[in-house]
Amino acid sequence: MKTTVNHVSGCTGTEEELLQRVRQLASGYKDKEGSLIQVLHMVQSVYGYLPLTVQQIVAEELGLPLSTVAGVVSFYSFFATTPRGRHTIRVCMGTACYVRGGVSIVESLEKQLGIQAGGTTADGVFTFEIARCIGSCGLAPAMTIDDTVYPEVKAADLPSILEPWYCGGK
Ligand code: FES
């Protein structure tokens, strides 16, 4: 029986169909030198992340060694090799946010989400990461969910900040 795959991007299909799309997409860039990063971005948006199976297909279609593809995937933090949540929470732990309560935000989130920073919740809603500075130091402590910035966050605010995202967004 075929499994239906629901990835972050909203692309759905059987595993076989998604891998076929990945192959078609990558094969369109066969002779285009320097297109690896662009292809990996597109493939990640189709498949949701870049496991080894997917990296292998990209390598085959672009005529590159798997080690080259794997090296690029591991170098850039925006490439994921494990499934991500639909939304990404980033808590800033840069200096300004750290001294103004960032640690308690991280600890509270870990408790509420039931995961450590770096993890993804079992329901697939959130991936939770630590950021080093999100450019909003005057609003410390700050966090983001996808592209939304939350300023001067207090641990007590977290349930009401998270709640709307379970239904698809802010
Ligand atoms: S240190 Fe947190 S936004 Fe800059």
**Helix 36-47 crosses helix 15-27 at what angle (to 10 degrees)?**
160
3-state secondary structure 121-158: CCCCCEEEEEECCCCCHHHCCCEEECCEEECCCCHHHH
- Tokens encoding 132: 């080093």
User: What predicted TM-score, i.e. pTM, was given to this entire model?
Assistant: 0.71
137: annotated binding-site residue? yes
User: Residue 117 to residues 20, 69, 88, 100: CA-CA distances in angstroms?
Assistant: 33, 26, 11, 19
User: Residue 27 to residues 24, 50, 136, 168: CA-CA distances in angstroms?
Assistant: 5, 16, 41, 33
Distance from residue 110's CA to the centre of ligand 1 (Å): 20
pLDDT per position as a tens digit, 142-165: 999 999 999 999 999 999 999 999
92: annotated binding-site residue? yes
pLDDT per position as a tens digit, 80-124: 898 889 899 999 999 999 999 999 999 999 999 999 998 999 998
Ligand 1 lined by 142 (C-beta under 6 Å)? yes
**Residue 92 near residue 104, CB atoms below 8 Å:** no
- Separation CA 105–CA 97 (nearest Å): 10
pLDDT per position as a tens digit, 31-46: 888 999 999 999 998 8
133: annotated binding-site residue? yes
- Tokens encoding 17: 């169909």
| Ligand 1 pocket mutation, candidates 90, 91, 92, criterion most atoms within 8 A of CB | 92
